[in-house]
Structure 1
Amino acid sequence: MTSPLLRSVARPLLATVAAVAGLLAASCTAPRAIVATGKVTPQGEFRVGYNQGLNLASAPIAKATGALKEAASQAASSSKVDYTDATTQLQAAALAYVLDPVQTTADINVRYGIVPHLDAGFKYTFGSYVFDTQYQFLGPVGTPENPDRGAATGTMYGSIGLQFATQRAKLPSFAFLSDINSVLNLRATRNDLLIPLIFSNSLGPEEEIGAISYGLVYAHSWVSYGFAPDKIYSGSVKVPELPLQRRNFSSFGGFLNLKIGYRYFYVIPAVSVFYQNYGDFALLNNQSTSLSGVTFVPSIGVQLRIPKFTN
């Protein structure tokens, strides 16, 4: 038998764990928060981290009007939906959320120093799988325990990265988006390529205390999508499904982050900003829409450095 005291403590704890698990399960956006510095992982070392952030995009926010939410609710509860301008707007909103959702993001990541100047890593974002590598072209490659000659506070590092993410895209589990999807039956997949150019200034020799990092980012996304509704009509004729469409678009941005800690453990607040013209997208009933917008990606993470052990 469990004591009343134990049950009173366990219940809220389990509720908290369930809430966190639900939040992370919804976080399927490919990570665009840049938390790396210009210094890559030294050869033979590991870095393990966790990041929590927010993808705040202007395009879906602009579409999420009260009138649209009401139209989505009415369409979801109807057995037959007449194609109107509201139906076009529902599709545009669904695409905006798939292309750049407003939602929390989270990832667990690990990096390893392969050779001097080059490391590689893997991120799992609870729905998206991410592989990346980073090449350091500027600055020393020592460690806090064995710094290279000239390494000190203010030393500049520079690197360029390459990140590839793949995922099955879906609408976040918001009430009105669930209504939209019940009407449109959206299916989508996407792949994302991200190339950050990173510069940083060390705090302490070889980032012993941390670093201030900044730079530019280019990203490119490939999206496949289609709609397969079963109750939308134009007059007396059922609107046929939209077969799989393929589109791609570029994003341009910049970032700033601060890595602060000591030798083995660091906290990393960061912010990235992107602009993208998503382009033109075909819709049902021979309609189309154009989308563009700005995205802010604030985040905070923790990083554990596991140094190379030598005899």
Structure 2
Amino acid sequence: MKISSSLFAFGRPAGLVAAAALLLATSCTAPRAIVATGKVTPQGEFRVGYNQGFNVATASLSKVGSAVKEAAAQALTQQKVDYTDATTELQAAALAYVLDPVQPTADLNFRYGIVPRLDAGYKYAFGSHVFDAQYQLLGPTGTPEDPGAGAATGTTYASLGLQFATQRAKLPGLSFLSDINSLLNFRATRNDLLIPLTFSNSFGQEEEFGAISYGVVYAHSWVSYGFAPTKIFNGSAQVPELPLQKRDFSSFGGFANLKLGYRYFYVIPAVSLFYQNYGDYALLNGKSTSLSGLTVVPSLGVQLRLPNLFK
């Protein structure tokens, strides 16, 4: 995704331009920032929100250096590219950025309380579609206007969530990744499952002033990918394409967030940390690569609470 220079025309305010640029630079990646508390949306209520974060993955950072960027730019100018170790590194970099990119993330979301201890929601992450549900295991189910039995400052809530995301994976709109994609004709899709166990302590009755939340999370991802280059050669023979490959891997992590506001509007800073061993991946010309690493996901969001509209 590239930023259009027309955004800078006619002296538009710098803040508006920066916001638009950030959204356009955001790739279609399933959100992994955990901004929920242990208390689910009360029955009949809606919550809508927006989250902006940044995905920082050590695996991607380790695969992309100045040599890889220079190799990508140089290969793009050649009519015929000999397969070398640099070609292997270009493929590894493309895979790392699809599995876990270094880039901004953003999502628009809404949730609805279905029954007293269960809500469900949808997130649009600018190309990734995310569906999730959350079941409350512990704590009252009232509202700030109508608190449940035992609701007070410091009341502990707990919930178990389930999030599923599907997307056609894309490389971020960075120039060297565009060069790599042009050379390798890389394609990929992925599905992601996320299961967070969330605990929280209320500020005021039924999170009237917000809450502090923390917990652990398990994730599993399924990836399909392939390469179909047209100008990479091994001697005089063109290197055949890599047909569609399927892999999956697990991630384990923890998170914390703060929900700060009053009754109807909240600001939510959050941070999540994941570790994953992505495993081994086949590459062109019979080569392979292994990937693993840590991912940090800081985020900042806003949430609007809409009280029960059907009473």
Scaled by the length of structure 1, the TM-score of the pair is 0.95
2:211 corresponds to 1:211: yes
2:173 corresponds to 1:173: yes
Runs of 4+ in 1 over 4 A off after TM superposition: 14-19
1:23 paired residue number:
22
Indicate the SS of the match to 2:180: helix
CA distance in 2, matches of 1:177, 1:214: 35
1:4 paired residue number:
none
Aligned residue type for 1:54:
F
Displacement of 1:149 in angstroms is: 1.7
1:102 paired residue number:
102
CA distance in 2, matches of 1:261, 1:98: 36
Indicate the SS of the match to 1:88: helix
Aligned residue type for 1:284:
L
Structure 1 residues 49-104: Cα deviation after superposition (integer angstroms, max 9, x where no partner) = 00000000001111111111111111111111000001000000000000000000
CA distance in 2, matches of 1:102, 1:123: 20
CA distance in 1, matches of 2:80, 2:18: 36
Distance 1:129 1:14, change over 3 A: farther
Aligned residue type for 1:100:
D
Indicate the SS of the match to 1:206: helix
Indicate the SS of the match to 2:88: helix
Q: Report matched runs for 1:239-250 at 5 Å.
A: 239-250=239-250
Structure 1 residues 215-250: Cα deviation after superposition (integer angstroms, max 9, x where no partner) = 000000000000000000000000000000000000
Displacement of 1:150 in angstroms is: 1.2
Aligned residue type for 2:276:
Q
Aligned residue type for 1:218:
Y
Indicate the SS of the match to 2:277: strand
Distance 1:296 1:153, change over 3 A: same
Indicate the SS of the match to 1:11: helix
CA distance in 2, matches of 1:114, 1:12: 47
1:11 paired residue number:
10
Displacement of 1:310 in angstroms is: 5.8
The answer as to whether partners of 2:215 and 2:255 remain within 8 angstroms in 1 is yes
Aligned residue type for 1:282:
A
Displacement of 1:106 in angstroms is: 0.4
Displacement of 1:12 in angstroms is: 3.0
Instruction: Give the root-mean-square deviation of aligned CA atoms.
Output: 1.5
2:293 paired residue number:
293
Q: Report matched runs for 1:92-241 at 5 Å.
A: 92-241=92-241
Indicate the SS of the match to 1:47: strand
Indicate the SS of the match to 1:305: strand
Displacement of 1:28 in angstroms is: 1.1
1:281 paired residue number:
281
Displacement of 1:304 in angstroms is: 0.2
Aligned residue type for 1:96:
A
Indicate the SS of the match to 1:35: coil
CA distance in 1, matches of 2:18, 2:28: 16
Q: How many residues align?
A: 303
Aligned residue type for 1:154:
G
CA distance in 2, matches of 1:15, 1:262: 30
CA distance in 1, matches of 2:13, 2:78: 38
CA distance in 2, matches of 1:237, 1:16: 53
Displacement of 1:170 in angstroms is: 1.0
Distance 1:241 1:18, change over 3 A: farther
Q: Report matched runs for 1:84-99 at 5 Å.
A: 84-99=84-99
Displacement of 1:14 in angstroms is: 7.0
Distance 1:97 1:47, change over 3 A: same
Task: Structure 1: state its 5+ residue gaps.
Answer: 1-8
Indicate the SS of the match to 2:191: strand
Task: Structure 2: state its 5+ residue gaps.
Answer: 1-7
Query: Percentage identity across aligned positions?
Result: 75
CA distance in 1, matches of 2:11, 2:110: 31
CA distance in 1, matches of 2:294, 2:12: 38
Scaled by the length of structure 2, the TM-score of the pair is 0.95
CA distance in 1, matches of 2:149, 2:217: 30
